[in-house]
Amino acid sequence: MGKKVLVVGGVAGGASVAARVRRLDESAEIIMFERGPYVSFSNCCIPFHISGDIEKSQDLVLMTPPEFDKQYNIDARVYNEVVGINKEEKTVEVKNVQTNETYTESYDVLFLAPGAVALRPQSIEGINDEHVFVMKTVPDVEALTTYAKDNDVKDVTVVGGGYIGLEVAENLKYAGYNVTLVEAQDQVMAPLDYDMVQMINREIMKNDVDLVLGDSVQKIAKDKVILASGREINAQAVVMAIGVRPENTLAKQADLALSASGAIKVNHHYQTSDPNIYAVGDAIETTCFFTGQKTQLTLAGPAQRQARAAADHVYGRTYVNTGVIGSSSVKMFGMNAANTGLNEKQCQARGIDYDYSYVIPKDKVGLMPDAENLFFKLIFQVPSGKILGAQAVGRGNVDKRIDVIATAIMLNGNLEHLKELELTYSPHFSTAKDVVNHAALTALNILNGEVKKVPVTKVRELVESNAMIIDAREEGEYALSHIKGAVNIPLSQFRDRLDEIPKDQPIYVHCRSSQRSYNMVRALGQLGYDHVYNLDGSFLGVCEYEYFNDVVSKREPIVTDYNFN
């Protein structure tokens, strides 16, 4: 007889551990405990049941206990909650939550994969009412859809603008509800920087979801939500998606070491403070790839890799723990967003010297009918040029570019590597100099001091201070819409109009996407202009960033008029 292996939690981490142990040891006795009704369901797909994209909630369940039994010889026990651990005896106490009976199981090795708990701040009045939902499990989504149908719900408020909040809001909208999305911070999608989420904001509003930023829920009444600002929002149902905390009840009870924020501490083999107890997934503390510091990350990919590594360690297999970089993606109506590594906020918080390039090229050859702008920000370390992170937003293939950056990060790539990457190219998929190469070239210009830039976030200040902004686009483009106060000197004319460009003050140049302005900036630099700045993101970037402000002369043509070269 092989080892007796117990697994607490039957979703991503737990199910992966159990299956891996079986492959390593046909003779192991494996029992997997799940307090809920389902094992092995797809958390990440839960929001898509709301719209019917995934028709039946049962489809979210990938494998049933009988299937675990037959295919893997794994005893998967649903409605069985492990309520206590006796580390000395190496036993757990299990409660059947349907019968309330308890029993004891012994173990050689115990794996904890309890996951995370959706936050429900008890300071909010009404937070526990029956029309307030979270969105972590299959019963959670069933409860919402059933309640909404039975109670003829028309208006739903989603609280929290993270990935789950966004996906829930989108799918509620697809299902026909009036949706309000409330986020306490000044931006949705915290993994992205403020400048990169403005396109997402617009997409949310365009699709008729009421987006409320910088306001928080104070009270939930029967038919409405009341915000800190006093604003009241009609809502017969509320979904709380403001985040999660590690599920550490059992670990606490067993006196396992926890981090300050309550995550289960593990060593690099995923052993807890008790070497016979491993922990993986959303409940644990993990290691940041960049800094080696402890961090938390609730993502399915790392959970699966942790599960495999932990099982392997039990069976004496070696494993290099790389730490986590944090890669994720989301679709929001017609807009896709993805990110990897560190963002600006995180670099600042960690005291890492960094800079970034921000480019807006087409995601495929511009002449192809479905080419779209791709907003891309590449963050690198100064002075090494080491890649730290990237963010991409657009209607096309943003995840591809971010996956390339994630790969480069984990293989210690720098800007020189990125600029030379030989990626696949055909006009349907990319450009000969892909977005990633383009961003790296721009970043090298910045790192090497060959081009000075001013970020899109500073344009309003420039306009208000009557700075010398040159619009290098053609006259027809300028006529349609332009930055207020900008002087139109097209790239095609500037060599004959140098007398209009003063040498004794800073010059800020932009075009549509930065290609023409970059050429003008390089030329002016050689012509004795010492203070020339390229406007990062150019007109496209300004239009997105300042869409709701009084910085461009006309707002509407901008959006439809992206195809100027």
What pairs with residue 338 in β-bridges? 329, 392
Q: Which is nearer to its own copies, 67 or 210 (CB)?
A: 67
Q: Which is nearer to its own copies, 242 or 491 (CB)?
A: 491
What pairs with residue 29 in β-bridges? 4
Q: H or E segment at 246?
A: strand 244-246
Q: H or E segment at 441?
A: helix 435-447
Q: How far is the CB of 12 from its own copies (least distance, A)?
A: 7
**Contact 518/533 with Cβ under 8 angstroms?**
no
Which runs of consecutive H residues, i.e. helices, occur in 184-289? 198-206, 249-253
Q: How far is the CB of 103 from its own copies (least distance, A)?
A: 26
Q: Which is nearer to its own copies, 235 or 520 (CB)?
A: 520
Q: Which is nearer to its own copies, 225 or 390 (CB)?
A: 390
Q: How far is the CB of 429 from its own copies (least distance, A)?
A: 4
Query: In the chain, what are the helix, strand and coil shares in percent, each to the nearest 5?
Result: 30, 25, 40
Q: How far is the CB of 273 from its own copies (least distance, A)?
A: 25
| Residue 100, phi then psi, degrees to nearest 5 | 65, 5
Which runs of consecutive H residues, i.e. helices, occur in 95-179? 138-150, 163-174
- Collapsing DSSP to helix, strand or coil, 454 comes out as strand
Q: How many helices (H) and strands (E) does the chain have?
A: 17, 30
**Which residue is listed with tokens 């290098």?**
472
Q: How far is the CB of 216 from its own copies (least distance, A)?
A: 26
- Collapsing DSSP to helix, strand or coil, 400 comes out as helix
Q: How far is the CB of 370 from its own copies (least distance, A)?
A: 9
Cα-based torsion angle of the residue sequence 154, 160, 164, 168 in order, rounded to the nearest 10 degrees: 10
Q: Which is nearer to its own copies, 96 or 329 (CB)?
A: 329
Distance CA 206, CA 152 (A): 25
500: its two tokens: 């209009």
Q: Which is nearer to its own copies, 1 or 260 (CB)?
A: 1
Distance of CA 76 to the CA centre of its chain: 32
Which residues form the catalytic set? 44
Distance CA 367, CA 437 (A): 20
Of 435, 411, 440, residue with least CA distance to 425:
435
Q: How far is the CB of 425 from its own copies (least distance, A)?
A: 5
359: its two tokens: 């480019």
Q: Which is nearer to its own copies, 271 or 328 (CB)?
A: 328
Q: How far is the CB of 274 from its own copies (least distance, A)?
A: 26
Q: Which is nearer to its own copies, 125 or 450 (CB)?
A: 450
Cis peptide before 383 (omega within 30 of 0): yes
Name residues whose C-beta falls within 8 Å of residue 422's C-beta, 6 or more positions apart in sequence: none
Q: What is the DSSP letter of 187?
A: S
- Please count the residues of the chain: 565
201: its two tokens: 């904001």
Q: How far is the CB of 306 from its own copies (least distance, A)?
A: 11
Q: How far is the CB of 184 from its own copies (least distance, A)?
A: 23
DSSP secondary structure string, 58-85? GGGB---HHHHHHHH--EEEETEEEEEE
Distance CA 305, CA 270 (A): 11
Q: Which is nearer to its own copies, 23 or 345 (CB)?
A: 23
Q: Which is nearer to its own copies, 261 or 563 (CB)?
A: 563
Distance CA 518, CA 492 (A): 13
- Collapsing DSSP to helix, strand or coil, 357 comes out as strand
- Collapsing DSSP to helix, strand or coil, 362 comes out as strand
**Which residue is listed with tokens 């590449």?**
378
**Which residue is listed with tokens 């830039």?**
453
Q: What is the DSSP letter of 296?
A: -
